[in-house]
A and B are shown apart, each in its own frame.
Chain A
Amino acid sequence: MKLTDKIREARDFIRKITDFQPDIALILGSGLGTLAEDIEDPVIIEYAGIPHFPVSTVEGHAGRLVLGTLEGKKVAAMQGRFHFYEGYTMQQVTFPVYVLHALGCRSLVVTNACGGLNPRFKAGDLMLITDHINILPNPLIGPNYEELGPRFPDMSQAYDAEYRQLALQVGEELGLKLQQGVYIAISGPTYSTPAEVRRLIAYGSDTVGMSTIPEVIVANYLGMRVLGISCITDMSLPDELEPLTHEQVVKIANQTRPKFIALVRGWLKRVSTDAAL
């Protein structure tokens, strides 16, 4: 089946449940899923019921779409996302982005938990993603659908500068010091070896994670504006690399959650969703 037909079927399924038209898509990573619980008048749709949606398998990722209002903005939040390391193809990982776009979303806020490579960072920091380095399979490989986007999409400004500026202002008002930097994604599920960490640093990345880039590539392809925020849950410094567990990542993500949620909510409150933007 053609991708465009799959998107239509998934969109039509959601439209039959609700005629709510979201403007902003939220992809909520580790630890931030609870933000979806703050959405007012929520319409909750389990991924399992949506045609062509894969099912989330990772602990701490709920696996449902929540549509409703947050800070006065019409949002569609993915509570739980799909990861390459779960065995999904990049096309499966990014399918929800196409559906969120088809529902009307023209902005994407994507969050994740990641490791810090930049020695100026520390665990618990929030970082605005300025750019990314993709070393994984590209989700756009295959036939192109001109009605969705161009064959060779530009990625020179994958993370919207105005959105980032607004996030910085909100951070300042909240008294949060926000880092800014480059994100690189490895496939996982293994964490990096010290030698691998050195390589990622040599590439020029400030953080390393296992998500986000495929969704951001597709969002740009579709012409969406993107804000990316990482929660640095651990430091990946090659000479002092300590054994790392998912529990530690979840622990720091949970500790950081209040300020992370305040930042996203503050940004949502301030952002304009006028068609002109």
Chain B
Amino acid sequence: MESTYKLLDEAVESLRQRGFGKPRIALILGSGLGGLAGSFQEAVAVDYRDIPGFPPATIPGHAGRLVWGKLQGVDAVAMQGRFHYYEGHSQRQIAFALWTMRSLGAEILIVTNAAGGINPDFRVGDLMLIADHINMTGDNPLIGPNPDRFGPRFPDMSRAYTPELRELALEAATGLKLNLQQGVYLSVTGPCFETPAEIQSFRRLGADAVGMSTVPEVITAVHAGMKVLGISCITNMAAGLGAEKLDHQEVIDVTKKVQSNFQALVTEIIALIGRRIPQ
């Protein structure tokens, strides 16, 4: 782990030199929600390619920079664009960005994504609070030497998504008169969308939504002792449950439509965290 720690220290040092302070909250902004970083005050942004140890993001719609600033008066750091396993990044590389934000001082992770709906009660455009996850990637970011600096060899996952934060999110949604679903997020590697038979099997396993991200980051964050809140935007119904064919443009279009609600919700949650959760 020594070389990873060294690289992390370099990443943190270089970000501090560019004006990054100690954030309370780390945000990972998925497909379509990257715009939230635009409402940061006193913002500083650094391209991933300029941060030691960061690989560059490779897909359209993902900007690929780390943004520092204040949102609702709360110090925050945001990943605008994230690293995906299907791009060929290892889960350790995905973990690195998370460790960087943790090393800056973030204690809370808010992670968002676009997901396919499996629960038949869901509708395209719904927002879903992640209650739990099922890791079906066949991999784990903590495989390898344990990063003792961050957490234990065998981290507990019994409450990966912090109940206290979910309560706050529900309260924020009520205040905004937004309907917020809750459910289990199952992560696959992608990059192909799922087959109908796969979706049926995920349903049997107890999943409400399926996507290609989030779980590696959440595992890393929980291991590192962070509180986690996850929200999915249901951008399509999964294979066999909705439209005939799935394409990425559909995902981007739906995300754009619900973007303002999604941003309002996350903004309100951050305001509540600022007021309610002691530093």
Contact residues of A with B, CB < 8 Å?
A: 130-138, 140-144, 150-158, 182, 202-205, 217, 220-221
Contact = CB atoms under 8 A, between A and B. Distances in A.
Contacts of B246: 152, 154, 156
B189 A137 contact: yes
Interface in B194-216: 194-198, 200-201, 204-205
Most chain A CB inside 10 Å of its own CB: which residue of B59, B88, B198: B198
A133 B198 contact: yes
Given A138-B189, A151-B191, A152-B190, A143 B58 contact: yes
B177 interface: no
A221 B86 CA distance: 14
Interface in B158-194: 189-194
Nearest to A137: B138
A141 B59 CA distance: 13
Nearest to B189: A138
Nearest to B247: A154
Given A138-B86, A156-B244, A158-B195, A204 B200 contact: yes
A133 B190 contact: no
Contact of B201 (A150, A154, A204): A204
Contacts of A136: 138
B33 to A, nearest CB: 18
A254 to B, nearest CB: 29
B276 interface: no
Contacts of B196: 131, 156
A153 B239 CA distance: 12
A206 B201 CA distance: 12
Contacts of A155: 192-195, 198, 239
A64 to B, nearest CB: 29
Contacts of B251: 152
A-B residue pairs, 8 tightest by C-beta: A131-B197, A142-B88, A203-B201, A156-B239, A182-B197, A152-B248, A153-B192, A154-B245
